[in-house]
Amino acid sequence: MITLNLNVNGKDHRLEIEDHMRLLDVIRGPLGLTGTKEGCGEGECGACTVILDGKAVDSCLVLAAQCEGKKVVTIEGLETENGLDPVQQAFLDNGAVQCGYCIPGMVLSAKALLDKNAAPNDQQIKEAISGNLCRCTGYDKMVKAIKTASEVMQERGEKK
C-alpha cells in the first residue's frame, strides 16, 4: 500500500492504494467517478481519457503512483454551477453523441486541445481526437461539435 495525494476535479484527495493500481482504477474505485470508462485497457481506444496536468492521457496506461501531487480532470469535473462546459454542450447540440461510451474521453481530448489552441483547424481537431475510437458513428459531428465549442469559448472570452 502507498499513500497518494492528488487533486481530482478541484478537490484534494489523500488515498491509501495498492502500488500497482492504475489511475483509471483509482478514479472508478475509491473516488467513485464512473464517467471515465475502461474500453481496451491497452491505451488503444481512448475511452478512459482524462486530463492530467493539462494533457489528455489514457488513464489505463498511467500508474496512480505517477500522479502524486498532480491535477486530474474527469468528465464529472467539467460541469460548473453555470451548466455544462461548452464542449459538452456542443456535443449535445450537434448530435455528436450516440451510445455515449466513448464520449467522456472524446470530450476531454477536445477540452485539452481547446485549452491549448482556441481556434484549431479541422486537421488539428482530427489529430487531437485520433486516440479516441467511436464504434457508433462517423466523426464529422464530433469535429463540428469541437469547432462549435471553440467558437462559443472565443465569444465568451474563455480562451484567447
pLDDT digits (tens, 9 = 90+) for 16-56: 999 999 999 999 999 999 999 999 999 999 999 999 999 99
Predicted pLDDT at 160: 46
> 59-109, pLDDT tens digit by residue?
999 999 999 999 999 999 999 888 999 999 999 999 999 898 999 999 999
C-alpha closest to that of 75 among 92, 51, 99, 41: 51
Is-contact 152 86, C-beta < 8 A?
A: yes
CA–CA dist 7, 89 (Å, integer): 25
Question: What is the set of domains in the chain, with CATH numbers?
Answer: 2-76 (3.10.20.30), 86-156 (1.10.150.120)
Tell the burial category of 135 from Cβ atoms under 10 Å away from its Cβ (0-12, 13-18, 19+).
exposed
